[in-house]
């Protein structure tokens, strides 16, 4: 029995949902530990497709308890909609979904602030998903956040929300030249949602500590990706939480000593949605070809994703940051139709070649990617059911990645369905 963290190794959208869904059949607990409804984890099974934003991706495969951990920020209405959608597809949430009382609540004023702040930034906008994520984490670290456990205490809750809104109205009117907002409708709406959500709210810290003591199998599901980490990503073009494996501990209350394995998920190429540096981005026809073939449009916002070749320098940084001991490579089939495939293997920064991911934003923005080129396999991977079935050129591509990163590939995915996955 083990506790395993599944993290995005790039800028998000690596296919974490698909891999977590697959691994969930053996899990007792599947835990989301950070982020919120900015995530869009797509699952496809039995000719059904669903995009999960808050509910852990283990809900449809086996009977794992699905936990929304303390590190997540929850939009109550988005969660209720998702609960309804999952139940309509046959998911059983009663008794199977647990929400941490310490998780913070996203309120309409967080979404409004997200929007007006982005407008205010103009050309320097981050390109957020507009789901109120940043402002909700600001409330949390400013110690004025509303937690899920506050939903049990309406009287105190009313006062907290009123105080927050009085404060926010100052900023809205005087900084952003926006009309003030009214507290009462927001409070009533929240209390309505509370009635439906309270039965799911519990002390997930104690629940997970018991699970560890009893040798249960736990999967921690990261959202976004390592390079969007607020501490270690391409700051300030990042999200406001810690998707890396360290964040899995603080966001779930599982101590570092209880983590046995860290699995990274990477696409066989690279994408990014939103603004900020992307060294191996392809802006021409090859980028468009990847976007079309990979259907690279945001699962949450529908925005077209920026596409490029796999960036091994950035990936090696993610391997190191997360202490990754295994890697799943997804969307290999998207490269089926390329004569030539490139891998970014170093950067030129100020005339010097380096394999170290720079942390200073101007360095990341100004670096020049250096590529190694390989011939593409130029054939479909459809009939490949094991690694031995792969064309020789695809195998060379995989071996190059393993050698460069010094990490084992343990899952290869070549299509959206569970059946299109090879577990090595």
Contact 179, 172 (CB under 8 A): yes
Question: Which residue in the list 28, 41, 75, 110 is annotated as catalytic?
Answer: 41
Name residues contacting ligand IMP, limited to 226-245 (CB under 6 A).
228, 237, 239-240
Can residue 24 be called a binding residue for ligand IMP (CB under 6 A)?
A: no
Can residue 13 be called a binding residue for ligand IMP (CB under 6 A)?
A: yes
Cis bond upstream, residue 236 (ω within 30):
yes
What is the rounded CA–CA span in Å between residue 181 and residue 376? Answer: 56
| Of the residues 133, 146, 148, 329, which one makes contact with ligand IMP according to CB under 6 A | 133
DSSP string covering 84-136: HHHHHTT---TTTEEEETTSEEP-HHHHHHHHHHHHHHGGG-----SSSHHHH
Smallest distance from the beta carbon of 299 to ligand IMP, in angstroms? 7
The residue at minimum Cβ distance from ligand IMP is: 274
Smallest distance from the beta carbon of 360 to ligand IMP, in angstroms? 19
| Of the residues 129, 139, 164, 266, which one makes contact with ligand IMP according to CB under 6 A | 129
Name residues contacting ligand IMP, limited to 40-59 (CB under 6 A).
40
Burial (CB < 10 A; 0-12, 13-18, 19+), residue 418, is middle
- Give the count of beta carbons closer than 10 Å to the beta carbon of residue 122: 7
What's the helix, strand, coil split of the chain in %, to 5?
Answer: 40, 20, 40
Q: Is 53 a catalytic residue?
A: no
* Closer to ligand IMP by Cβ: residue 15 or 246: 15
Contact 271, 308 (CB under 8 A): yes
Name residues contacting ligand IMP, limited to 69-128 (CB under 6 A).
126-128
* Closer to ligand IMP by Cβ: residue 8 or 376: 8
Can residue 297 be called a binding residue for ligand IMP (CB under 6 A)?
A: no
Name residues contacting ligand IMP, limited to 174-193 (CB under 6 A).
none
* Closer to ligand IMP by Cβ: residue 301 or 372: 301
* Closer to ligand IMP by Cβ: residue 49 or 303: 303
**Buried/exposed 227-262: b ≥16 CB within 10 Å, e otherwise:** bbbbebbbeebbbbbbbbbbbbbbbbbbeeebbebb
Can residue 413 be called a binding residue for ligand IMP (CB under 6 A)?
A: no
Can residue 172 be called a binding residue for ligand IMP (CB under 6 A)?
A: no
Q: At 355, give phi and psi (nearest 5°).
A: -110, 15
> In this chain, which stretch among 138-146, 221-229, 246-254, 288-296 interacts with ligand IMP, using CB under 6 A?
221-229
Provide the total of helices (H) and of strands (E) in the chain, helices listed first: 12, 20
Q: Is 41 a catalytic residue?
A: yes
* Closer to ligand IMP by Cβ: residue 96 or 266: 266
Instruction: Lay out the sheet containing 3-8: strands in order across.
Output: 201-202, 97-100, 65-68, 29-32, 218-221, 3-8, 261-267, 326-330, 409-413, 421-423
Smallest distance from the beta carbon of 131 to ligand IMP, in angstroms? 5
Smallest distance from the beta carbon of 215 to ligand IMP, in angstroms? 32
What is the rounded CA–CA span in Å between residue 82 and residue 339? Answer: 42
Question: Which residue in the list 13, 21, 75, 150 is annotated as catalytic?
Answer: 13
* Closer to ligand IMP by Cβ: residue 301 or 325: 301
Contact 400, 371 (CB under 8 A): no
> In this chain, which stretch among 36-44, 83-91, 153-161, 376-384 interacts with ligand IMP, using CB under 6 A?
36-44
Q: Which residues carry out catalysis? A: 13, 41
Please report, as ranges, the residues that interact with ligand IMP according to CB under 6 A.
11-13, 38-40, 126-129, 131, 133-134, 223-224, 228, 237, 239-240, 273-274
């Amino acid at each position: 029995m083990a506790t395993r963290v599944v993290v995005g190794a790039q800028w998000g959208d690596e296919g974490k949902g698909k891999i977590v869904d697959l691994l969930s059949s053996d899990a007792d607990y599947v835990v989301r530990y950070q982020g919120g409804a900015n995530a869009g984890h797509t699952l496809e099974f039995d000719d059904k497709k669903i995009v999960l934003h808050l509910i852990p991706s283990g809900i449809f495969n086996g009977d794992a308890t699905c936990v929304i951990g303390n590190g997540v920020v929850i939009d109550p209405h988005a969660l209720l909609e998702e609960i309804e959608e999952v139940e309509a597809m046959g998911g059983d949430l009663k008794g199977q979904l647990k929400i941490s009382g310490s998780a913070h609540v996203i309120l309409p004023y967080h979404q409004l602030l997200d929007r007006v702040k982005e407008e205010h930034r103009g050309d320097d906008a981050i390109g957020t998903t507009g789901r109120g994520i940043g402002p909700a984490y600001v409330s949390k670290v400013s110690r004025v956040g509303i937690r899920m456990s506050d939903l049990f205490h309406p009287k105190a809750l009313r006062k907290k929300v009123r105080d927050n809104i009085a404060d926010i109205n100052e900023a809205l009117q005087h900084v952003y030249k926006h009309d003030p907002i009214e507290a009462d409708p927001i409070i009533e709406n929240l209390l309505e949602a509370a009635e439906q959500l309270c039965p799911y709210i519990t002390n997930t810290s104690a629940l997970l500590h018991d699970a560890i003591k009893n040798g249960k199998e736990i999967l921690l599901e990261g959202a976004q990706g390592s390079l969007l980490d607020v501490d270690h990503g391409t700051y300030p073009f990042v999200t406001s939480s810690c998707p890396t494996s360290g964040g899995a501990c603080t966001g779930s209350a599982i101590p570092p000593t209880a983590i046995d394995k860290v699995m990274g998920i990477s696409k066989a190429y690279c994408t990014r949605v939103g603004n900020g540096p992307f060294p191996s981005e392809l802006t021409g026809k090859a980028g468009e070809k990847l976007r079309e073939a990979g259907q690279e449009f945001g699962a949450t916002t529908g925005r077209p994703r920026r596409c490029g070749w796999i960036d091994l320098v950035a990936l090696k940084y993610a391997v190191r940051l997360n202490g990754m001991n295994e890697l799943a490579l997804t969307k290999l089939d998207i490269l089926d139709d390329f004569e030539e495939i490139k891998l970014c293997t170093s950067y030129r920064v100020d005339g010097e070649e380096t394999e170290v991911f720079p942390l200073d934003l101007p360095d990341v923005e100004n670096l020049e990617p250096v590529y190694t080129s390989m011939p593409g396999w130029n054939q479909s991977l459809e009939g490949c059911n094991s690694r031995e079935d792969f064309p020789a050129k695809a195998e060379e591509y995989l071996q190059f990645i393993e050698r460069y990163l010094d990490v084992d590939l343990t899952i290869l995915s070549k299509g959206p369905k569970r059946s299109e996955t090879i577990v090595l």
